[in-house]
Structure 1
Amino acid sequence: MEYFGYLASILIGITLGLIGGGGSILTVPILVYLFNIQPESATSYSLFIVGITAMVGAYRHYTLGNLKIKSALYFALPSIVSLLIIRKILLPKIPASLFYIHDFEVTKDLLIMVVFALLMVAASISMIRKSKENTTSEINFPRLALIGLLVGFITGFLGAGGGFLIIPALLFFANLPMKQAVGTSLFIIFINSLIGFTGDMIGGIAIDYKLLFAITIIAIVGMIIGTQLSKKIDGAKLKPAFGWFVLVMGIYIIVKEILL
């Protein structure tokens, strides 16, 4: 299954390169189901893989003038606060075994995967639905910061970069064009993910660095491919197709974790 895992890893970067998000939605299932990494550890791996890949993409967009630092910082700073609270205080306090429903044990790992799958379903719906255009030009910084706080919670608990939330926030509350929203989103994902991973390293989490670097390098190759494809493929048209794929994946995880 590892060979399929390495092959699938390229999709992480391609997705980030094309639509500025969605990489972590693929990363955690790939790590759990194809590399047999425990879900909680997979969230740490995901933070590093997605963070480094997003960094490469953010730099590329910076050279193209698609990175808006002020909007990124308004979003990222509160996001960092909630991310660290979740990963350093709340997540370690969740017991490995939560409760039983008759003979069915609800574990911490099961909770992470089911919540992640529900997040995938919600993300897929937002990708499939057509977005209404924002007609205002004023930047709503307080609301941008509030959504950053929410994304930090998601990033901390699930190891998800939150690009599917960041992109709409930048479009509607920072009034950025799509290309600038993608570049700024990648920068925010980079900051959030790497700070989260650094916190896990300080906490002493065990990491297979050989596997981690291998997947990351493949994802970076995917990012380069995705960035090149973005010049030829309209991200707005690709987003619904990817949304349907994510929806199927989310339903599969729910069925596998609960019913099988």
Structure 2
Amino acid sequence: MDVPALPPLLAAVLAAPQLGLTLALGAAVGVIMALTGAGGGILAVPLLVFGLHLPLQQAAPTGLIAVGTAAALAAVLGLREGIVRYRAAGFMSAFGMATAPAGVWLAARLPAVPMLLGFSGLLLWVAWRSLRAAPPGDAAPPEHLPCRLDPAQGRLRWTGRCARALGATGLTSGLLSGLFGVGGGFVIIPALQHVSNLDLRSIQATSLAVIALVSASGVVAASASGALPWAVAIPFGAGAVVALLAARVLARRLHPGHLRRAFGLLTLVVALMMIARAFGWRIG
């Protein structure tokens, strides 16, 4: 009896020479996303560049697969817990999905070295924000925030200022998502902390919902342009999803401040490695 042939894509995945490493790198992204709600996306691309030696133009959409899939799963779990602000997430996503294809278009046309240096600069900014201690009184009084939670209804009060702040956040995260393959959580989370009085768990869950939707837009655009190596993207994404589920329990037991500083130090090291890569240094 003849054994049915495997579908070509599945056969390519199983035959990949670095399948185990790809799964492990994806798992690292999932763990970071579970612990920080944002950081997995910005570290997915460096892992692919250094671990699998993908060019940045292919690493970016591959990272989006893992980030978007894991974020979608986490967002569904957040919806079940009632901590996702789905109206705000949908509003930001609409703007982000409009600009993500533009970022993909730019990424396919920019030279490799400027892209690497631009991504390194982004990493340095994220590291600085993560390591920087917020000064006392840094947060605005709740009555001055553009997006305030109505304690009676448990919903955000929508104003013109709130809509403009959320729209600008969505536009920025979408463009960076398409350009560098990052989820955009490093933009969304600080923005929501700055303009709203939502608690951190709600901010992280809402950010993940936006990441899932915006990443889908970037993945579609990258796939249409032929820049997405599916044989790598599928196991990378699978590793991220499994690890995210496993690490959610650990995330509840660790102090957010310690996580933020550890993530900042890791991001700083990766930024310096990306700068070295831009000037010709190679690993392996």
**TM-score when scaled to structure 1?**
0.87
One-letter code of the match for 2:226?
G
Match of 1:175 in 2: 197
What per-residue deviation string (whole Å, max 9, x for no partner) do you get for residues 164-202 of structure 1? Answer: 111111222232110000100100000111111011112
Structure 2: state its 5+ residue gaps: 1-16, 148-161
Q: Does 1:71 align with 2:92?
A: no
Give the superposition deviation at 1:57: 0.9
The DSSP-based 3-state class of the residue aligned with 2:142 is coil
Task: Tell me which moved more, 221-230 or 45-54.
Answer: 221-230
One of 111, 114, 119 as aligned partner of 1:116: 119
Match of 1:246 in 2: 267
Task: Tell me which moved more, 125-134 or 26-35.
Answer: 125-134
Alpha-carbon distance in structure 2 between the residues aligned to 1:161 and 1:188: 9
In the TM superposition, 1:16-165 aligns within 5 A as 16-88=33-105, 90-94=106-110, 108-131=111-134, 132-137=138-143, 138-139=146-147, 140-165=162-187
Query: Given the superposition, is the C-alpha separation of residues 34 and 92 from structure 1 closer, same or farther in structure 2, using an over 3 Å criterion?
Result: closer
In the TM superposition, 1:200-239 aligns within 5 A as 200-207=222-229, 209-239=230-260
Give the superposition deviation at 1:76: 1.6
What per-residue deviation string (whole Å, max 9, x for no partner) do you get for residues 60-105 of structure 1? Answer: 11111111011112222112212122324x34444xxxxxxxxxxx
One-letter code of the match for 1:147?
T
Alpha-carbon distance in structure 2 between the residues aligned to 1:56 and 1:220: 7
Paired residues of 1:57 and 1:227 also in contact (CA < 8 A): no
One-letter code of the match for 2:246?
I
Alpha-carbon distance in structure 1 between the residues aligned to 2:247 and 2:224: 33
Tell which structure's C-alpha radius of gyration is larger: 2
The DSSP-based 3-state class of the residue aligned with 1:67 is coil
Match of 1:192 in 2: 214
Alpha-carbon distance in structure 1 between the residues aligned to 2:22 and 2:232: 11
- Aligned residue pairs total 245
Paired residues of 2:116 and 2:274 also in contact (CA < 8 A): yes
Match of 1:255 in 2: 276
Query: Given the superposition, is the C-alpha separation of residues 5 and 250 from structure 1 closer, same or farther in structure 2, using an over 3 Å criterion?
Result: farther
Identity of aligned residues (%): 23
Query: Given the superposition, is the C-alpha separation of residues 141 and 175 from structure 1 closer, same or farther in structure 2, using an over 3 Å criterion?
Result: farther
Paired residues of 1:47 and 1:159 also in contact (CA < 8 A): yes
The DSSP-based 3-state class of the residue aligned with 1:176 is coil
Paired residues of 1:32 and 1:42 also in contact (CA < 8 A): yes
Paired residues of 1:134 and 1:175 also in contact (CA < 8 A): no
Alpha-carbon distance in structure 2 between the residues aligned to 1:206 and 1:24: 16
Give the superposition deviation at 1:255: 2.0
**TM-score when scaled to structure 2?**
0.80
